[in-house]
Amino acid sequence: MKRVLVGPLLRLMFRPWVRGLENIPGDGPAIMASNHLAVIDSFVLPLVMNREIVFIGKSEYFTGTGLKGRLTAGFMRGVGTIPVDRSGGKASEGALRTGLNRLNDGGLFGIYPEGTRSPDGRLYRGKTGVARLALESGAPVIPVAMIGTDKAQPIGKRLPKPMRIGIVIGEPLDFSRYQGMENDRFILRSVTDEIMYSLMSLSGQEYVDIYAATQKARLAAGVKASETGAPPPSAPGGRPAPDVQVPEPPQETPDPSVD
């Protein structure tokens, strides 16, 4: 998929730029925690990495009918996506167990702490599954900010448009100080907020302290974005918002051999 079938086309379409590749360990387990702006996020990040990474994806991708449904399911399995039932409870717990097994085997596991794509390009409250994974596995969390993928593939658009997108990879976050405290909900929230704060700092996104799924439900019910009652811009954990901007792509150096 990466080297022959899909990767070359994606590179041509998006010409991805990346910062911070040195923050990905050469071996051993790590959790790649990313903001989530578009479906293509799960396909673009592996393009710039030398190691294999797997993500979890909603179970609906694997249960479609007809030719399109079978092709989608086959593609998702081909790129190593792990299905997750987003109805919660034991179903979601099973997906996290699968991620934990991946980490225990020394691999990279990708997760979107927001739980679903952002409905409007802003960064939403993180779910604590990523914190539980970090504390139970002992693996470092590497924050990843996808830049511009929502513009390449806005919600509702099946086919992305060609444009340059970016990836910013932050320094690993170590939560070993909380070892053995994975059942403390206050610790889980604190760890999750620290991860989301790092994502906010890397991506330059505005933060909204409600779940993205809640905002989507409100918008689907016909409530305008200005009327949803979302809290004013702040930062995870109630901290002041960092003074950051959305990263810009590096300037391309002109070829001196071309007049």
Of the pLDDT bands very low, low, confident and very high (cuts 50, 70, 90), residue 20 is: very high
Q: What pLDDT shows up at residue 42?
A: 86
Phi, psi (rounded to 5 degrees) for 214: -65, -45
What's the Cα-to-Cα distance from 43 to each of 53, 82, 123, 190, 197, rounded to whole Å?
Answer: 10, 14, 20, 30, 24
- Residue 37 clears pLDDT 70, i.e. is over it: yes
The mean pLDDT value of the chain amounts to 85
Q: How far apart are CA 247 and CA 166, in angstroms?
A: 8
From the list 145, 90, 92, the residue with the least C-alpha distance to 118 is: 145
- Residue 226 clears pLDDT 60, i.e. is over it: no
- Residue 257 clears pLDDT 60, i.e. is over it: no
Contact 219, 212 (CB under 8 A): no
Give the lowest-confidence range in 77-81, 127-131, 147-151, 219-223.
77-81
Give the lowest-confidence range in 15-24, 145-154, 250-259.
250-259
Q: What percent of the chain has pLDDT over 70?
A: 81
Average pLDDT over residues 158-185: 94
Q: How far apart are CA 203 and CA 131, in angstroms?
A: 20
Q: What pLDDT shows up at residue 259?
A: 47
Q: What pLDDT shows up at residue 225?
A: 58
* Predicted TM-score of the model (pTM): 0.86
Torsion of CA 199, 205, 211, 215, to 10 degrees: -160
Token reading at 238: 């109630």
Query: pLDDT, tens digit, for every residue of 62-94?
Result: 777 777 667 667 666 666 677 766 555 565 677
